[in-house]
Amino acid sequence: MRNKILATALASLLAPGLATAAEQYADDLLYLRVGAGASKVDSSSDTGTETAYSLGTGWRFAKHYSIDLNYDHLGNWDQSVTGVGGPLDAESRTFSLGLGGTIDFGQSGFFGQARVGVHRWKSEYENVEAAFEEKGTDPFYSIGIGYDIGKTFGVILSYERFIVDSDTLGDVDRLMLGFEVR
Residue 26 pLDDT: 46
pLDDT confidence of 1, banded at 50, 70, 90?
A: low
| φ, ψ for residue 161, nearest 5 deg | -125, 115
Name 121's bridge partners. Answer: 94, 136
> 104-108 long-range contacts, Cβ below 8 Å, gap at least 24?
104/64
pLDDT at res. 19: 44
Q: Where in the sequence is the domain holding 54, given as residue range(s)?
A: 2-181
What is the CATH number for 80? 2.40.160.20
Nearest to residue 111, comparing CAs of 63, 174, 39, 181?
Answer: 63
* Apex 8 CA angle, 59 and 163, nearest 5: 80
Give the pLDDT band (50/70/90) at residue 6: low
pLDDT on residue 178: 97
Q: How far apart are CA 20 and CA 151, in angstroms?
A: 24
Q: What are the pLDDT digits (tens) for 131-165?
A: 888 899 999 999 999 999 988 899 999 999 999 88
Q: What is the pLDDT of residues 9-54, one digit of tens each?
A: 555 555 555 444 444 444 568 999 999 999 988 766 666 678 999 9
What would the mean pLDDT of 167-178 be, rounded to a whole number? 86
Residue bearing the bigger pLDDT, 79 or 93: 93
Residue 163 β-bridge partners: none
Total domains in the fold of the chain: 1
Task: Give the mean pLDDT of 86-107.
Answer: 90
pLDDT confidence tier of residue 87, bands split at 50, 70 and 90? confident
